[in-house]
Structure 1
Amino acid sequence: MASNRNAARLKRATLAAALGLCFIGGVQAQTNTAGAVSGRASSGDTITVSNPATGFTRTITVGADGSFRFSQIPIGQYTVTRNGSSPRQVTVNVGTSANVDYAAASTAGGPAQLEEVEVIGTGAINPIDVTSVESTTILTAEQIAKIPVPRDTTSVALLAPGTVRGDAVFGNLASFGGASVAENAYFINGFNITNSFRNLNFAQVPFEAIQEQQIKTGGYGAEFGRSLGGVVNQITKRGTNDFHVGGNVFWSPDSLREDVRNAYLTNGVLRSDNSQDTSEEWRTNIWASGALIKDKLFAYGLISYGEQNNDTWGNNVASTNVNDNFEFPIWLLKMDWNITDSHILEFTAFSDKQENNQEVYANRPGVTERLNLVGVNIQEQGGENYVLKYTGYLTDTFTLSALIGHGEFSRSQRLRTASGLPVEYNGDITSTATGCPQIVDARPTYRQQATGVYSSTCNITNGTIDRTDSGDERDQFRLDAEWQLGDHLLRFGYDQDDYTSKAGVALEGGFQWRYTTVDPDGVANNGDEFDRARQQFFQQGATVEVKQHAYYIQDSWNITDNFIAYLGARWDTFENLNGNGESYVKISNQFGPRLGFSWDVFGDSTFKVFGNAGRYALPLTPSVAVRGASASLFSRESFNFDQTVDPTTGAPNNPVARPGTFIYLNSEDGRPKNPLTIASQNLDPMYQDEYILGFQKMLTEHFSLGIRGIYRELKQAIDDNCDYGPIYDQAVAEGLNPVLPNPGFPYCRMFNPGKDAVFVTDVEGDGILRTYAVPGALLSPPAKRNYSAMEFFVDGNWDKFFIQGSYTYAKSIGNTEGGVKSDIGQNDTSVTQDFDYLELTVDTYGYLPNDRRHTLKLFGNYEITDEWSVGANLIVQSGRPLNCLGVLDRDPNRAPGTPPIDATYDPHPYGSSFMRCNNSPVPRGTAGRLPWTQTFDMNVAYAPNWAEGLQFKIDVFNVFDSQKVTSVVETAEVPETGLPSELYLLPASFQAPRTVRFMVQYDF
C-alpha cells in the first residue's frame, strides 16, 4: 500500500483527463509544438502510450532508475498502459509533461513500490507540473470558445498575467512584461510567423483552426530567443480517424454597436464627430478533417471568408473602409503522416492574405460631412506559408526533430485618384512617387483665418506611401534533439532564420509643401507678416536582409526526486545587410545563459516553489537598413511666393527659391551609404536580464493559487544617434575640413546608448575612412528600462464551472520604451528619436507608456444545464502615465510661460519632442495619468440536445459601454512657434464601444 503522500501524488497525476483548462503558472519547455508523458514504474516494465483517434502508439522499456519519458508527443488525448494493463487517460498539452506514476520513488537500497491508483473525475483542475521553470499560460480551443473574447491572437494573449494592450497607433498588439509591442515572437506549429520587418505584425489564421495557444510571459527556455517581451505559440488542429465537417458564421451588426465617443479639444471645441460612424463585420468558416488512410495519413482543412466595413465621417478625412477576403480567402491545410510508430511527418500550409480598400473623402475637422471623393487607398497584407516537420523517435531515450519552412508577407500599397488614375511609388530611389503633393499649413490661426487653410483636395493619404512591391520572405530551418540520460534530460539544437524585406516609402506626390509665417517685428497680426513655403523631398527604397542563427543546449537535472535544476545556454548570431547586400552590423555568438529550479516541496505535486534567471537578446530589424544603411533622399528648400496657392493641389503660386536654402538632411542625397560608417564598431545587441521567483499551491482538488515575482532589467539597447558634432569637432581639431553632405559621413548612426562608441567616418568626402572614439557621455546616457511585478493567479474548476484569474501589480520605469515610442506614435523600430541628440534625453527617466500599475483579470464559464451555458470576462486596469512634450527654446532669457513669438526664438530642430512645457522641465510621466478602464464581457450559448453539433451563441463585449480614453496627443506646443498646441490631450483612442456578436455553428 502506498503512503498517503504518494497516494496524493498519484491522485494529482491522474487528473490529466480534466477539461484541458489553461495552465497559469510554470510549464517546462519540452518543445514548441508538442508535449510529453513521463513518470515512474518498475525497472523493466513496458509502458505504452496510444491515441485511438490517430493510431499513434509508442512503447518503451523502463530503465534501471525506474523513470520513463515519451518526448515530443503530438497534443491530444492518450491512453497510458503498464505491461498491457492499468490504463490511464491523460491530456497532453503543448510544452507540458503529463505525469503518470505506476511506482513510488525507490528508497535507499530498496526497490520501487507499486502505487495505488485512484481515478479522479473531470471536475478537478490540472495538476501542478513540478518540472516547470517557465511562466506560461495555455488556452485550448474548447476554453476559448467558452469565454467571451475576440477571436484573435492578441485578445487571447491579453488574458495571461503580465500582458497589457499596446497603444492603438501600433495596431492590435500586446506588451509583455513592460517590453514594447515590437519585442515579441509569434509561432504556428513551430514556425516563426513574426513579421520581422518592424516586429509589429504577424501571420494570422482564424481561431477555428487553432487547437491551443501558449503564451510565454517569462522564463522560457534556451530553445526560444529573439524576444525580450513574450512568445505566443499556436498549435493548429489536425485530422483524426473520425471524419468531421462543419462550419460557422460570426456576425457583428452595426445596429447593435454603440457610437464611439466624440473627441473634443481641451477648450471644448468639437474636433472629431463620430456619431455617424458605422462598423459591421461578418465571417464564415468551413472545415473538414479525417483520415485519408486510417491510423496513417490525416488531413485538416479550413477556408474562411469575411468582410469588415467601417465608415468614418467626422475626423480630418472621411473614409469608407472595406477589408475583405473574397479575392484572397484565408485558408489552412494541416497533414500528418504516421510513417511508422517511430517516424512522423507533418505539413502545414496557410494563407492570411487580405486586401483593404479605403475610399477617402474630403471633410472639415470636427464636421460630420462627406465632400468629394479624393481617392482610394488599397493595401495588401499577409501571404502564404509552408512548413514541413519531421519527428523521429530514434531510441527509447533519444528524439530528433527537423523543421523547414518558407513564408511570404505582402505590404503592398496602391492608390487611385477619384478619376481612376494610379498613384504609386515603384521603389526606385531615382524616381518620384506620382500624385498630388502633401500640404502642411503650420501658420498661426489668425493667418489661416485671413486666407483660409492651405490644403490639397487631391492628396489621398496626407503622408507617405509604400512601394507597390513591398513585402517580406522568411526561410527557416531548425533541428532539435532530446536525450534522456538518467537524471538528466538534455535538449539541444540549431536554429537558422533568414529574412528578406523589399521596402521603401516616399511622400505621396513626391514632395511636401509646408507653410509658415514670417513676423519681422515679432508683433502678431499687425500687417507686416508674410508667408513662406518650404519644399521637402523624402524617399527611400531597398531590398535588405537579416541573417540569424543560434545554437542552444539545456539540461533539466533531477538532483533529487523532488528537486529539478535547469541549466541552459544559447548563442545567437545576427547579421544585417543593406540594399547592396553589404553587411553593416554583425554580432556573433551573443551568449544567453538560462538558469532555474523547481522544488516539489511535499513530493506530491501539490506545492511547488520555482525560480529562474535568464538573458535574452534581440536583433536589429531589417527596417533599419532601408533608410539608415541604404540609399535615401531627404532634402529641403525654402521659397517665396505670391501669397496665393493652387486651389486644387495647395501648391504655392509662382514660387521663387531663396538662395542658399537648399540642403540635404542627414547626408541623404540619394547616393549609397558606406556600410562601415553606419554603426559603431563595438556594437552589442539589445539584451535584457530577467529574474523570476514564485510558488504554486493546490488548495483543494478544484482550486490552486500561485504568486510570482518578476524583475526585468534592460542591460543594453540599440538605437540611432544623429548628433554628428563630436566627430565633426574632433575632425576640425585634427586640421581637417569636414564635407557635408557626404554618404561616408551619415548624420545618424547605430550605437549602444551610454556606451563609448567607435565610429568610422569619411570626414572630407575623399573616400578616406578615419576612426573616432566618442565618449558615451557626449552622445547619451545609458538606456534604462526596469520592470518589476508581483503576479497573483488562480485556477479553479468544478463539474459545471471554471474560473481563471490574476492580479498584477507592476512598475515599468526608465528612459526608453524600447523598440518603438508610444509618446509620439513612432513605429520606426530600433531607430526612435529617444537618443538622437543629447538634449532629447533630458528628464526622460520616469514611468513608461506600458506602465499599468494595477491589472485585474477574471474569466470563466458556467454550464447552467446540458444545453445552456454562460461565460464572462472582466479586465480592470489603471491608466498609463502622460507627458507634456514641448520645444527646447535656446533663448535663455525667455521666462517660463512667456510666449516665444519674438525674433529671438530659436527652437531645436526636433520641435516639440522634449520633456518640457512653458520653457520648464516636465519629467517623464509626471503630467498625470489616463483614467482606469473597466471592460466586462458576457456570452450565452445554446447547444440543443435535439440537434447534436448545432450551437448558437451571443457575445456582448463591453456590456456597460465604458469608453474611457486610452491614449491622447502628448505634444503640448507648436514646433514652429513654441505656443501652446490646441491639440494637446486630444483623445487619440477610446475603449471599443459595446458590440454584439452572433454565432451559429454546426459540426458533425
Structure 2
Amino acid sequence: MASNYLAKGLKRSALTVALGLSFVGGVQAQTNTAGAVTGRAASGDTITVANPATGFTRTITVGADGNYRFSQLPTGQYTITRNNGSPRNVTVNVGTNANVDFVAAGGDATELGTVTVVGTGAVNPIDISSVESTTILTAEQIKKIPVAQNTTAVALLAPGTVRGDAAFGNLASFGGSSVAENQYYLNGFNITNSFRSLNFAAVPFEAIAEQQIKTGGYGAEFGRSLGGVINQISKRGTNEFHAGGNVYYIPEDLTEETKNTFYSNPLTPDSFGQLRSDNSKDNGWQYTANVWASGALIKDKLFAYGLVSYNKQEADAWGSVLATGNTTTETKSPKWLVKLDWNITDNHILEFTGFSDKQKQYVDSYLNDVGKLNRTQFLGTTLNEQGGENYVLKYTGYLTDSFTLSVLAGHGEFSRATELIAPDGRHITYDGNINAPAQPGCPVIIDSRPGYRVTSTGAYKSTCNVSGGQLNRKDSGDTRDQFRLDAEWQLGDHLLRFGYDRDDYESIAGVAIEGGYQWTFLTSNGPDGAPNTGDEFDIARKQYFSQGSTVKVKQHAYYIEDSWNITDNFIAYLGGRWDTFENINGQGATYVKINNQFGPRLGFSWDVFGDSTFKVFGNAGRYALPLTPSVAVRGASASLFSREDFTFTGVNPTTGEPTGTTSRGNFRYLNGEDGHPKEARAIASKNLDPMYQDEYILGFQKQLTDHFSMGVRGIFRDLKAAIDDNCDYTAILDAHPGAAFELPNPGFPYCRMFNPGEDAVFETDLNNDGHWVTDTIPGARLSPKAKRTYSALEVFFDGNWDKLFLQGSYTYAKSKGNTEGGVKSDIGQADTNVTQDFDYIELTRDTYGYLPNDRRHSLKLFGSYQMTDEWAVGANLLVQSGRPLNCLGVFDTNPGPVYAPHPYGSSFMRCGTTTAGGANDATVVARPRGTAGRLPWTNQIDLNVAYTPNWAEGLTLKMDIFNVLNSQKVTSVIETAEVAATGNPSSTYLLPASFQAPRQVRFMVQYDF
C-alpha cells in the first residue's frame, strides 16, 4: 500500500508540473532568461540533464542532503536521467522551477521510474520555491487564442492588469500603478524606453518564444518598477533546420466604422446632442509579413535563429466637424532579429541577441472646409521616426555543481526624431539651438477669440503650417548601456543569488514650435471688462518656446537573496536590493542623486502536503522608481519661454500672421525661462527620496484534479513616497520677507522637485549674486502627502485536457489616492514625474478618491479547443467595469464681482456652474475625485478558427474576429467641465475621447518546413 500511495502521489505531482498553473508560479531564485530543474535523489547519485535539440548536457552529483539543482538552463525541452537510467522528459520555461523527484521526501530511495514529467504546452507549475505572482504564455498558446500580436495585448491577459488611458498609447497598468511604472526585458536586456517610461522596444512579435508577466512579488534582482515586469524570451535555433513565413492581414472592408461623437454636456443646451465628430469616412488597413529560419551552424555547438518582419498600415482620420484639417497616416516598420547560441562546452554558454525595431510614420495633412468631410489644400507631411538597433551579449558559466555565473552586456538605441516635409519638398527641422529655434516654414496660428468675434471676422488660420504644433529636434533619441552580473550558489539548504546591475541612459531631447514661434489671437473685453458690449478689440500674442539638451540617468544596484529550505516543505525567502539613482542635466551637472535606497524582500512558500499540489505563499517587498530623464530637459536645463502682446491692423491670408503690429510693451519671460542654464543645486529638495511603495501578497494554489488548478491571492500596495514638481515659489519668499527678487534667475527655478507632503530642503541664490541660502519648507505649506493604495482579490484558474485548454481570472480591486503616479490620465498629461498634480496647493484640494486605473471588476477567460486533427477554435472574453470620472473646473481667486481665474484654468476638482456669470456663480461646488460617475461596463468577445490541412503539411490558415459583437462602449471622455476664460460650462465636457476598438477581422496564412 505504501508504494502504491507513493507512486500515486508522485504521479499527481508530476502532472502538476506538466499541467501547471498559468497565473502564478515562477521561481523566486531564477534569472530573467532561464529556468531550472530541481528534485530529490539519493546522496551520491549522478543526475544528467540534456537537451536533445541542441546537444547540451550537464551532469552533477547529488549532495549529502539529497537535493539537486540545475540552474539557469536555457528554455526548452529536456530529458533527465539518474545514474544513466531511463530518461524522463521535462519542460523548462523562463523563470520556472520544474521539479523531478527520484526519491520520496525524507530520503526514501525507492525508485520512481514509472513517473514521467511531460511538457504539454501549459506552464508555471505549482512551484513551492516561488513567492512571485507571474503569468507565462508561450508562442504556441498565443497562436491558439484570438489576441493581437503585441506585448501589451498579451500582458492584458494576466490578472491585475488593465488597459491604460488611450492618451498614452497601447500600454497596461499593473496593480493600480500608472502606465509609466513598468519595466520591459528581452533575453535579460532592459528594453524600456526610459525617457518618459511610456514606450519600449517593439521586438518583432513573431520572434517571441515566451512572454512572462510579473504582476507582483518579484525578487530582488528586479527593480525600478512599481507596476509590473514584462519579460520576453526570443526563439532560438536547434540542430533541426526550420524555416517558414506568414502574413497577417486586416482588411479595411471587414473593419467596422468607429462611432460618431456628440456633445454630451447637458449644461450646454445649445450644443447638447449635436454631432461633434463624423467618423464615417475614417478607415484603415494593415498587414505584417514574417520570414524566419533557424538551425545549427555547427551541430551541437553553434545555433542561429533569424527573422525579418515588415509591417505596413494606413489610416484616414477626418476629425471633428469643427476641424479645419484632416490626415492620412502611413506607417512602415521593417524589423529583424538574430539570436545566436554557442555551447562552448557543456559548462560555458555564450548568447548573442541583435534586433531592430525602426519605424517611420508619414502623416499627410490637409485642409478641409469647416463642417465638411472633404480635402482641399495639401499642407505637407510630418515624418516621425521611432526605434533603433539593440545588441546584447550574455555569458553563462556552470563553474561548479553548485555555483553558476552569468554576465550580460548590451547597447540599445531609440530614435524620437521629427521632420516636416513641405509641399515644395523643403525639409523643416529643429536642430536643438534653443536661442535660435526658427526653422523654414510658417508659424503656428491659434485663434482663441470668443465665438461672436470669430463669426464677425472669420477665423484666422495658416494655410502653410504643416503640423500645427511642436517639432522634436532632428537628433532626438536615447541610448542605453547596460551591464549586469548574476551569481547563484547552492549552499546546503540555502540557495543564494546575488549580483550587480548597471543601467546608464542618455537622452538627446528638445522641442520647438514649428516656424520658430506661435501667434495666438485673443480678445480684450475693453475698458468695461465685460464681453460683447461693443468696446472689445483683438490682440495677437507672440510666443516663443524651445528647449533642447542632452541629459543622463546613471543607475546601479546590488542585490542578494536567499531561498532557505527550512524544512522539506517550507521555504523562506529573504532578499535585499540597494539602488542608486543619479540624474544629470544638460550642463553635465548632477541635480538629483539618491544613494543605496534599500528595498527589502521577504516571503515564504509552504508545500502543505509535500507533493506540490497545494501551496500557501506570501511576500512583502519595497520597490523604488528613479526620476525619468525627461524631467531635466526643461526643469533642470536651459529653456526659452517668452510672450509679447501686439495690436494689429490685418492678417496675412497665407501665413495667418498679424500685420501692422504694434507692441503693447509687455514682453516677458515666463517661469524664468530665458534660455540660460539653471543651477543644478536649486532644482530638487536636498532630502529627496525616490518614488517607492510597499507591497504585500498572501495566497494559495491548489491542484483540484489532474486537469484543473486554481488559486486565490490577496494584494495590497501602498505608495509611501512620490516625486513631482512644485511651482509655488512664494514658499521661498515667505521665508525671506523683504528680500529682493526678480525672475529670471538661474539660482531660483520656477518649479522644484520634491516629495509631496514631506518637508523640503531647498537651496536658493535669492539675488543671483552667488550667495546661497538653505530653507526647510514644511510639507504642509506645499501640498498634502501623496497617497495611492491598491487592494485586490484575485481568483485564477487553469484547465488543460487533451483537446482543450482554458484559463481565466476574476479580480475585484480598488485603487484610491490623490495621485495616479508618474502621469495624469485625467487630462492625458504624459510629463512623467512633473504632472500638475502638486504644482500649487490649490490643485490638491478634493483630489483624494478613486483613481483613473480603478476597475472594480475584471473577468478574463480565454482558451482553445482542438475539434479535429485539422480544425481548432479559440475564444477570448473580457468583461470589465468602467473607470471613475471627474468634473474639472476653474478656481476663482477673487470671490468678488470681477472674475479672476487661477492660471491653471479648468484643472480643479470643483465645478457646477449652471448659468452665465462664471466661477462666481453660487452653484460652483467641490467635486471630489471620482465622484462624477463612472464610464460604462465594457465587454468584448474575440473568436478564431484555425485550419491545418492534412493534405498540405506545414500549412495553417486562421481567421480571428475581434470584438465579435462590435461593442463600442466609451473608454475615456473629456473631464474638463468649465471654460477657463469665463468659468461657464464647457460644451466638450463628457465628450467621448475614445471607444472600444470596433469589430475587426484578421486573416493569417502560415507555412512551416
Asked if these proteins are the same fold (TM beyond 0.5), I'd say yes
Worse-superposed segment, 120-129 or 810-819? 120-129
User: 1:130, CA displacement in angstroms?
Assistant: 1.5
Q: Residue 174 of structure 1 aligns to which amino acid in structure 2?
A: A
1:639 to 1:395, Cα distance in 2 relative to 1, 3 A: same
What's the counterpart of residue 575 of structure 2? Answer: 568
SS of 1:604's equivalent?
coil
Among 586, 601, 605, which residue is 2:612 paired with?
605
Q: Residue 279 of structure 1 aligns to which amino acid in structure 2?
A: G
What's the counterpart of residue 786 of structure 2? Answer: 783
What's the counterpart of residue 45 of structure 1? Answer: 45
SS of 1:560's equivalent?
coil
What's the counterpart of residue 72 of structure 2? Answer: 72
1:135 to 1:942, Cα distance in 2 relative to 1, 3 A: same
Tell whether 2:667 aligns with 1:662: yes
Among 898, 906, 914, which residue is 2:900 paired with?
906
- CA distance in structure 1 between the aligned counterparts of 2:175 and 2:399, rounded to whole angstroms: 39
Tell whether 2:182 aligns with 1:184: yes
User: 1:743, CA displacement in angstroms?
Assistant: 1.2
- CA distance in structure 1 between the aligned counterparts of 2:623 and 2:17, rounded to whole angstroms: 35
Among 246, 250, 270, which residue is 2:244 paired with?
246
Tell whether 2:356 aligns with 1:351: yes
Tell whether 2:750 aligns with 1:747: yes
1:247-278 Cα offsets, whole Å, 9 max, x none, are 00110000100011111112122221110111
1:526 to 1:728, Cα distance in 2 relative to 1, 3 A: same
- CA distance in structure 1 between the aligned counterparts of 2:658 and 2:293, rounded to whole angstroms: 62
Q: Residue 665 of structure 1 aligns to which amino acid in structure 2?
A: L
- CA distance in structure 2 between the aligned counterparts of 1:608 and 1:281, rounded to whole angstroms: 46
Tell whether 2:888 aligns with 1:885: yes
* Contact 2:168–2:830, Cα closer than 8 Å, also in 1: yes
What's the counterpart of residue 899 of structure 1? Answer: none
What's the counterpart of residue 314 of structure 1? Answer: 319
What's the counterpart of residue 973 of structure 2? Answer: 968
User: 1:367, CA displacement in angstroms?
Assistant: 3.1
- CA distance in structure 2 between the aligned counterparts of 1:19 and 1:289, rounded to whole angstroms: 28
What's the counterpart of residue 544 of structure 1? Answer: 551
SS of 1:155's equivalent?
helix
* Contact 1:238–1:300, Cα closer than 8 Å, also in 2: yes
1:365 to 1:82, Cα distance in 2 relative to 1, 3 A: farther
Q: Residue 324 of structure 1 aligns to which amino acid in structure 2?
A: K
- CA distance in structure 1 between the aligned counterparts of 2:35 and 2:113, rounded to whole angstroms: 26
- CA distance in structure 1 between the aligned counterparts of 2:475 and 2:235, rounded to whole angstroms: 33
Tell whether 2:725 aligns with 1:720: yes
SS of 1:817's equivalent?
coil
Tell whether 2:601 aligns with 1:591: no
Q: Residue 468 of structure 1 aligns to which amino acid in structure 2?
A: K
Q: Residue 318 of structure 1 aligns to which amino acid in structure 2?
A: N
Q: Residue 914 of structure 1 aligns to which amino acid in structure 2?
A: F
Q: Residue 477 of structure 2 aligns to which amino acid in structure 1?
A: G
What's the counterpart of residue 705 of structure 1? Answer: 710
1:924 to 1:4, Cα distance in 2 relative to 1, 3 A: farther
Among 261, 285, 296, which residue is 1:263 paired with?
261
* Contact 2:722–2:821, Cα closer than 8 Å, also in 1: yes
- CA distance in structure 2 between the aligned counterparts of 1:5 and 1:821, rounded to whole angstroms: 58
User: 1:314, CA displacement in angstroms?
Assistant: 3.1
User: 1:380, CA displacement in angstroms?
Assistant: 0.6
1:112 to 1:252, Cα distance in 2 relative to 1, 3 A: same
- CA distance in structure 2 between the aligned counterparts of 1:595 and 1:997, rounded to whole angstroms: 45
Among 173, 176, 179, which residue is 1:175 paired with?
173
User: 1:115, CA displacement in angstroms?
Assistant: 3.8
* Contact 1:970–1:985, Cα closer than 8 Å, also in 2: yes
What's the counterpart of residue 901 of structure 1? Answer: none
User: 1:27, CA displacement in angstroms?
Assistant: 4.2
- CA distance in structure 2 between the aligned counterparts of 1:200 and 1:483, rounded to whole angstroms: 36
- CA distance in structure 2 between the aligned counterparts of 1:606 and 1:3, rounded to whole angstroms: 19
User: 1:283, CA displacement in angstroms?
Assistant: 1.0
Q: Residue 65 of structure 2 aligns to which amino acid in structure 1?
A: D
Structure 2 unmatched runs, 5+: 265-271, 914-923
User: 1:22, CA displacement in angstroms?
Assistant: 3.5
* Contact 1:413–1:467, Cα closer than 8 Å, also in 2: yes
* Contact 1:271–1:365, Cα closer than 8 Å, also in 2: no
Q: How many residue pairs were aligned?
A: 985
Mapping 1:473-484, distance limit 5 Å:
473-484=479-490
* Contact 1:9–1:605, Cα closer than 8 Å, also in 2: no
- CA distance in structure 2 between the aligned counterparts of 1:89 and 1:2, rounded to whole angstroms: 26
Tell whether 2:646 aligns with 1:639: yes
Mapping 1:51-70, distance limit 5 Å:
51-70=51-70
1:103-149 Cα offsets, whole Å, 9 max, x none, are 01226xxx654446334777796541121100000000000000100
- CA distance in structure 2 between the aligned counterparts of 1:557 and 1:635, rounded to whole angstroms: 62
What's the counterpart of residue 99 of structure 1? Answer: 99
What's the counterpart of residue 526 of structure 1? Answer: 533
What's the counterpart of residue 864 of structure 2? Answer: 861
1:213 to 1:949, Cα distance in 2 relative to 1, 3 A: same
What's the counterpart of residue 295 of structure 1? Answer: 300
What's the counterpart of residue 267 of structure 2? Answer: none
* Contact 2:89–2:118, Cα closer than 8 Å, also in 1: no
- CA distance in structure 1 between the aligned counterparts of 2:134 and 2:252, rounded to whole angstroms: 37
Mapping 1:266-281, distance limit 5 Å:
266=264, 267-281=272-286
1:689-727 Cα offsets, whole Å, 9 max, x none, are 000001111110100111110000100000000000010
What's the counterpart of residue 900 of structure 1? Answer: none
1:123 to 1:383, Cα distance in 2 relative to 1, 3 A: closer
SS of 2:140's equivalent?
helix
- CA distance in structure 2 between the aligned counterparts of 1:239 and 1:318, rounded to whole angstroms: 47
Q: Residue 773 of structure 1 aligns to which amino acid in structure 2?
A: T
Tell whether 2:843 aligns with 1:840: yes
What's the counterpart of residue 269 of structure 2? Answer: none
User: 1:8, CA displacement in angstroms?
Assistant: 4.4
* Contact 1:197–1:472, Cα closer than 8 Å, also in 2: yes
Tell whether 2:633 aligns with 1:626: yes
User: 1:739, CA displacement in angstroms?
Assistant: 2.2
* Contact 1:20–1:91, Cα closer than 8 Å, also in 2: no
SS of 1:172's equivalent?
coil
| TM-score between both structures, scaled by the size of structure 1 | 0.96
- CA distance in structure 2 between the aligned counterparts of 1:277 and 1:19, rounded to whole angstroms: 45
- CA distance in structure 1 between the aligned counterparts of 2:803 and 2:100, rounded to whole angstroms: 26
Among 199, 206, 210, which residue is 2:204 paired with?
206
1:635-688 Cα offsets, whole Å, 9 max, x none, are 12222223x4222222222221112x2221111110011100000011110001
Mapping 1:16-415, distance limit 5 Å:
18=18, 22-25=22-25, 27-106=27-106, 112-115=109-112, 117-119=114-116, 127-266=125-264, 267-315=272-320, 316=323, 317-325=325-333, 329-364=334-369, 367-415=372-420
Q: Residue 516 of structure 1 aligns to which amino acid in structure 2?
A: L
What's the counterpart of residue 683 of structure 1? Answer: 688
What's the counterpart of residue 1008 of structure 2? Answer: 1003
What's the counterpart of residue 897 of structure 1? Answer: none
Worse-superposed segment, 664-673 or 12-21? 12-21
SS of 1:793's equivalent?
strand
* Contact 2:121–2:141, Cα closer than 8 Å, also in 1: no
* Contact 2:21–2:709, Cα closer than 8 Å, also in 1: no
User: 1:921, CA displacement in angstroms?
Assistant: 1.0
* Contact 1:270–1:366, Cα closer than 8 Å, also in 2: no
* Contact 1:412–1:467, Cα closer than 8 Å, also in 2: yes
User: 1:967, CA displacement in angstroms?
Assistant: 0.8
- CA distance in structure 1 between the aligned counterparts of 2:821 and 2:725, rounded to whole angstroms: 12
1:686 to 1:730, Cα distance in 2 relative to 1, 3 A: same
What's the counterpart of residue 917 of structure 2? Answer: none
Tell whether 2:492 aligns with 1:486: yes
Q: Percent identity?
A: 71
SS of 1:390's equivalent?
strand
SS of 1:944's equivalent?
coil
What's the counterpart of residue 816 of structure 2? Answer: 813
User: 1:571, CA displacement in angstroms?
Assistant: 0.1
User: 1:978, CA displacement in angstroms?
Assistant: 1.5
